[in-house]
Amino acid sequence: MLSKSERAKAAAILIEAERSKKQGKQLSVTFPKIDIEDAYAIQQEVTKAKLKSGRKVIGHKIGLTSKAMQQSLGINEPDYGHLFDDMLVPDGAKLRFENYCVPRIEVELAFVLGKPLKGPGVGLFDVLRATEYVVPSLEIIDARLVNPRKIFDTVADNGAAAGIVVGGQVMKVDDFDLRWAGAILYKNSEIEETGLAAGVLGHPALGIAWLANKLGPRGVTLKPGHILLSGSFTRPVHAAKGDTIHADFGPLGGLAIQFV
């Protein structure tokens, strides 16, 4: 467990890394006694600083939803981070590569709530009833700390959240079996990854249920209008300067961005 001053120092490292676009040293190395509660407390410190600067929380993201990723980090549950208003990226945007440290792209379904959700006790059908619509999305993730990272580094770093692109076909939850929503992820016209949304805890809505139940005891309610990224169902794809990333969700449409 870290002291309050150590948590503040850790938050300052992450804030500076995001400002300078230069990765910092792993918190798990600088602060060997860090634990998962410290990591979430550091994430919250960074969030408070961003809110103070005028940024607004517009939702949350869920990460590490696959068993393979959890096992590789020695954990048994996902993690979460905050989404801010300045992370929204329009479909088809050209993004300055220099605005990121080491950008990677993931394919996800974004849930937009029509009713509030607060745990504990939230289940699959609670999420489906509360969801106004679901839309295809790309998440831009960007590690502000160098490799090799541990779960404490990823959590403190806001789950590496750096951007979100939404678009394609807006759908109601009863329009489609969400487990079978699939995507092909291309980089420069070559297929890099494919996957089905069932890869997220068996059903992407279960990711949202996990989030509500995780945040509820912390006094956080998932609000109507919030965007909730349910977790990637492909491995992240690295992007370099000049790369075009395109996700084809079949009948649900497509999304693309370019790093310039």
Tokens of 77: 């549950």
Q: What is the largest CA-CA distance in the chain?
A: 51
From the candidate CATH numbers 3.30.300.10, 3.40.630.30, 3.90.850.10, 3.20.20.100, the one assigned to the domain spanning 56-259:
3.90.850.10
pLDDT at position 76 is 67
Task: Name the amino acid, one letter, at 254.
Answer: G
> What CA–CA distance (Å, rounded) separates 131 from 144?
32
pLDDT at position 78 is 85
Contacts of 99 (CB under 8 A, 6+ apart): 21
Residue ranges per structural domain of the chain? 56-259
Q: Output the pTM of the full model.
A: 0.94
Q: What is the pLDDT of residues 80-104, one digit of tens each?
A: 999 999 999 999 999 999 999 999 9
Tokens of 131: 């969801």
Residues of the chain with pLDDT under 50: none
Task: Name the amino acid, one letter, at 217.
Answer: P
pLDDT at position 168 is 84
Tokens of 89: 């990226």
Answer for the pair 115, 89: CB distance below 8 angstroms, yes or no: no
